[in-house]
Structure 1
Amino acid sequence: MDLDQLLWAGADAQAQALRDGTVSAPDLLEAVLRRADAVDPRLNLFRVRYPEAAREAAAAAQRRLDAGERTPLLGVPVAVKDDLDVVGDVTAMGGRPQFAPAEQDAPTVARLRAAGAVIVGHTQTPDRCLWPFTESLTNGATRNPWHLDHTPGGSSGGSAAAVAAGVVGVATGSDGGGSVRVPANFCGLFGLKTTRGLIDMGEEEHWHGLAVVGPLGRRVADAAAMLDVIADEDHPGGLYRDSVDAAPGPLRIALSWRTPLGRPRIQAERKQAVLETAERLRALGHEVTEADPPLGTRPSSQFMVRYLRGVADDVAQLPHPEWLEPRTRRIATLGRRVPDRVLARTRAAEADLDAVMRTFFQDFDVLLQPGWTGRQPRIGRFHGSGAAHTLSAVSAGIPYYPTWNVLGYPVAAVPAGRDSIGLPIGVQLVGPAFGEHLLLSLAGQIEHAHPWADDRPDI
């Protein structure tokens, strides 16, 4: 496999090539940097890249490889979403940097670095990571490699687009309401929203427990390899990468069309992709039954309380809130109206929803749901829009995502084909808390039967 092919092979295959000695870490990095130079001007993937620091890291990784050391990502170039601190760089989160350069790495970045992953740069996000599209007044629009007129999603859009464009084989994302799953679905990638608490995010909760870190990869194995590095060291059930190749056995899968706000309208091609996924699962030996978790409307209001108050609390600690986009400031204003007692009551009510879902998962092993309900928005669709219009418009696309942030459950975003203009379509697989091994095994089985990663955008 030549270097250009290896760029599209994904992080797990790159790690194997490095272990086999068929490529060196410095040579692989140079291919990554050349690819970034070629496509970044058109796609706007990175806020900043670290070529010299990455070269030093690649050389150090090669010395470790030559000495016989092995880790899941040793010598592999990775991208980091611009919401995680990288020592020596600011963390901009889609806007003007509010703080001095970081004096230490975020826990996820520290684990990547310790494992010998080569950090290429900070990827683009929307302002304060608020939206399921990646455009900001400060940094402009990030474009979808599959169709440059459309968004790659958000808020992990820069990370997803960098993987989809063949720059890196895996990247970090974060998900507070779909921000890993939306860009994975939009870019034809595998993404994993992890269980709350599985990955160290530092001392403070993000958006009152809604947000978690998760990987985005070309293949299921890429995300699993990253998870083996960034998750807590004690992995009950063994290595996540091993689960990808392990058959899950026959599963009871619930196909759910309802959301807390009812059954939304779904664009025909995307509804058909869910039905085809259900048939594929049946063909793999699983029992698929239409069934909706009896959660009622409560997850919707619980999400909005925690999201709005979370944004307000985030903005309150910024030295220059006036630098934020107007709609970000407006969301924060709304969030400041959420009293402490309402927030506390909302957090306490999560236990009731969790009890309902634990009962549901006694009858089913996994839940299958649609992803985004329509076609990816065009670039500029929300440019200049106020907070109310933007929030209302994106809410129509995301109804299947936020419930699982409220509950903190793991969700796999799985590619499910492309639509009539070539844009990717994705579905979701929801598991019980700390069910990552199960989701990786099932997603790996789907991928083996219906591979998606060899299909590349023409960019």
Structure 2
Amino acid sequence: MDLDELLWAGADAQAQALRDGTVTAPDLLEAVFDRIDAVDVRLNAFRIRYTDSARAAAARAQGRLEAGERTPLLGVPVAVKDDLDVTGDVTGMGGRPQFEPAEQDAPAVARLRAAGAVLVGHTHTPDRCLWPFTETLTHGATRNPWHLDHTPGGSSGGSAAAVAAGIVGAATGSDGGGSVRIPAGFCGIFGLRTTRGLIDMGTEEHWHGLASIGPLGRRVADAAAMLDVLAEEDHPGGLYRDSADADPGRLRIALSWWTPLGKPPVEAQRKQAVRETAERLRALGHEVTEADPPLGPRPTSQFMVRYLRGVADDAAMLPHPEWLEPRTRRIAAMGRRIPDRVLARTRAAEAGLDEKMRRFFADFDVILQPGWTGRAPRIGRFHGSGASTTLSAVSLGIPYFPTWNVLGYPAAAVPAGRDSGGLPMGVQLVGPSFSEHRLLSLAGQVERAHPWAGDRPPL
């Protein structure tokens, strides 16, 4: 396999090639840099690339490989979303950096570095990771490799675009309301929002428990290999990478069209993609039944209280909140109106929702739902829009995502074909807490039966 083909093969295949000695870590990295030079002027996926430090890391990784050491990502180039600290670099989170360069890595970055992954650079996010599109006044628009006039989603848009464009085989994302699943769906790759607490996010709780870190990859195996590095070492169930190849057994799958806002309109092609996924699951031997979680409307207020107050608390810690974009400042102002007692009551109410879902998951193993309800928005769709207008508009696309952030459950974004305009479509698979092994096994089974990673965007 030549280097260009290896870039498209994904992180797991790259790790295997490095172990086999058919490519060296320095040569693979230079191919990544060549790819960035060729396509990122159009995509704008990276805020910065770590040319010198990455070359040094690739050389060290090659030495470890030649000494016989093996890790899931040893020598593999990966991208890091610009919400995680990388030693020596600022963490911009989509805007003008508010702090000096980091003196130490975020825990997830430290784990990647210790495993020998080669950090290529920081990828773009919307301002403070607020939105499901990646466009900022500071850095401009990040574009979808499948159609440059459309967004790759957000807030992990830069990471998803870099993976979909064949630059890196895996990248970190984070998901506080769909921010891994939305860009994975928009870009036709696999993404996994992980269980709250599975991956160390440091001492601060993000958006009052809504957010977690998750991997993005061209294939299920890529994300699984990254999760083996990112997750705590004592996780039960063995290696996540092994689960991607394992037979999940016959599962009871609930096909749900429910959201806390009722059953919203879903664009016809995307609704059909969900139905076709259900038929594919049945053909694989699973029991698929239409059934809705018994949660009612409460997750909506749960999410909004924690999201708005989370943004406000984030902004309050910044030395220069006046540098934030106008609609970010407005969202923060809304959040400041939420009293501590309301936040505390909201957090306490999560237990009741979790108890209802525990009973639901006694009858079902996995939930199948739509992803984003329509086509990926065009670049500039929200440029100049105020906070309320933007929030109302994106709410029409995201209703199937936030409930699982409220509960802290894992959810996988699985590609489900492309629409008539050539844009990818996706569905999501949801499980109870710490069911990542099950979701990876099921998604891996779907991928083996209906591969998606061979399709390449027409850059």
List per-residue Cα deviations over 1:100-157 (Å, max 9, x = no partner).
Answer: 0000000000000000000000000000000000000000000000000000000000
Matched, 1:274 2:274: yes
Alignment of 1:255-294 (within 5 A): 255-294=255-294
User: Which residue is 1:109 aligned to?
Assistant: 109
User: Which residue is 2:188 aligned to?
Assistant: 188
Unaligned runs of 5+ in 2: none
List per-residue Cα deviations over 1:230-287 (Å, max 9, x = no partner).
Answer: 0001120000000011100100000000100100000000000000000000000000
List per-residue Cα deviations over 1:14-40 (Å, max 9, x = no partner).
Answer: 000000000000000000000001111
CA distance, structure 2, for counterparts of residue 37 and residue 405 of structure 1: 36
User: Which residue is 1:379 aligned to?
Assistant: 379
List per-residue Cα deviations over 1:58-77 (Å, max 9, x = no partner).
Answer: 00000000000000000000
Matched, 1:250 2:253: no
Q: 2:364 is matched by which residue type in structure 1?
A: F
User: Which residue is 1:216 aligned to?
Assistant: 216
CA distance, structure 1, for counterparts of residue 238 and residue 282 of structure 2: 27
CA distance, structure 2, for counterparts of residue 52 and residue 37 of structure 1: 15
List per-residue Cα deviations over 1:158-211 (Å, max 9, x = no partner).
Answer: 000000000000000000000000000000010000000000000110000000
1:325 CA drift (Å): 0.4
User: Which residue is 1:156 aligned to?
Assistant: 156
**Secondary structure of 2:237 counterpart:** coil
User: Which residue is 1:413 aligned to?
Assistant: 413
**Secondary structure of 2:381 counterpart:** coil
**Secondary structure of 1:208 counterpart:** helix
User: Which residue is 1:325 aligned to?
Assistant: 325
Identity of aligned residues (%): 84
User: Which residue is 1:86 aligned to?
Assistant: 86
User: Which residue is 1:40 aligned to?
Assistant: 40
- Report the number of matched residues: 459
User: Which residue is 2:9 aligned to?
Assistant: 9
**Secondary structure of 1:56 counterpart:** helix
User: Which residue is 1:168 aligned to?
Assistant: 168
Matched, 1:368 2:368: yes
CA distance, structure 2, for counterparts of residue 350 and residue 235 of structure 1: 24
Matched, 1:73 2:73: yes
CA distance, structure 2, for counterparts of residue 137 and residue 244 of structure 1: 39
CA distance, structure 2, for counterparts of residue 93 and residue 123 of structure 1: 9
User: Which residue is 1:240 aligned to?
Assistant: 240
User: Which residue is 1:137 aligned to?
Assistant: 137
| TM superposition score normalised by structure 1 | 1.00
List per-residue Cα deviations over 1:72-104 (Å, max 9, x = no partner).
Answer: 000000000000000000000000000000000
CA distance, structure 1, for counterparts of residue 399 and residue 13 of structure 2: 35
User: Which residue is 2:452 aligned to?
Assistant: 452
CA distance, structure 2, for counterparts of residue 313 and residue 141 of structure 1: 26
User: Which residue is 2:316 aligned to?
Assistant: 316
Q: 1:73 is matched by which residue type in structure 2?
A: L
User: Which residue is 2:443 aligned to?
Assistant: 443
1:458 CA drift (Å): 1.1
| TM superposition score normalised by structure 2 | 1.00
CA distance, structure 1, for counterparts of residue 331 and residue 193 of structure 2: 24
**Secondary structure of 1:192 counterpart:** strand
User: Which residue is 1:22 aligned to?
Assistant: 22
User: Which residue is 1:428 aligned to?
Assistant: 428
CA distance, structure 1, for counterparts of residue 289 and residue 440 of structure 2: 21
Q: 1:148 is matched by which residue type in structure 2?
A: L
CA distance, structure 1, for counterparts of residue 180 and residue 86 of structure 2: 20
List per-residue Cα deviations over 1:38-62 (Å, max 9, x = no partner).
Answer: 1110000100000111000000000
**Secondary structure of 1:399 counterpart:** coil
**Secondary structure of 1:373 counterpart:** coil
Alignment of 1:393-404 (within 5 A): 393-404=393-404
CA distance, structure 2, for counterparts of residue 36 and residue 267 of structure 1: 34
User: Which residue is 2:297 aligned to?
Assistant: 297
Q: Which runs of 4+ in 1 moved over 2 A?
A: none
CA distance, structure 2, for counterparts of residue 35 and residue 88 of structure 1: 24
CA distance, structure 2, for counterparts of residue 129 and residue 158 of structure 1: 11
User: Which residue is 1:119 aligned to?
Assistant: 119
**Secondary structure of 2:264 counterpart:** coil
Matched, 1:228 2:228: yes
CA distance, structure 2, for counterparts of residue 244 and residue 225 of structure 1: 9
CA distance, structure 2, for counterparts of residue 217 and residue 254 of structure 1: 26
